[in-house]
Amino acid sequence: MKGNMEQRACEEAVYIIESRGTVRDAARKFGISKSTVHKDISQRLPLFNRSLYLQVKAILEENKAQRHIRGGLATRRKYKGG
């Protein structure tokens, strides 16, 4: 999925918006690193598709606000065994 960075960034953004997923989810889906997804979304996307960037930014901000809760739940599952 290398090639056209603009197309890749748009596809990643659409995936995150539709699935309400995280950067990590998008990286796993597209087979690229989290750093690449983050760079595509935060630096490349605003240059050529501002409206899509604003939509995906809102979802990523929501994920950022909730990540401490998800981390706590993961730790709980790890030590409770379920």
Q: What is the pTM of this model?
A: 0.82
What pLDDT is recorded for position 57?
A: 95
Residue 1: name the closest of 42, 25, 36, 35 by CA: 36
Q: Which residues constitute the domain of residue 19?
A: 5-80
Q: What angle do CA 44, 59, 71 make, to 5 degrees?
A: 110
| Three-class SS state of 32 | coil
Residue 7: name the closest of 39, 69, 42, 49 by CA: 49
What pLDDT is recorded for position 39?
A: 96
Q: How far apart are CA 17 and CA 3, in angstroms?
A: 22
Q: How far apart are CA 52 and CA 41, in angstroms?
A: 10
Give 1 or 60, the one with higher predicted confidence.
Answer: 60
Give the chain's domain count.
1
Number of other CB atoms surrounding residue 11 within 10 Å: 16
> Which of the residue ranges 32-36, 63-67, 71-75 has the most confident prediction, judged by mean pLDDT?
32-36
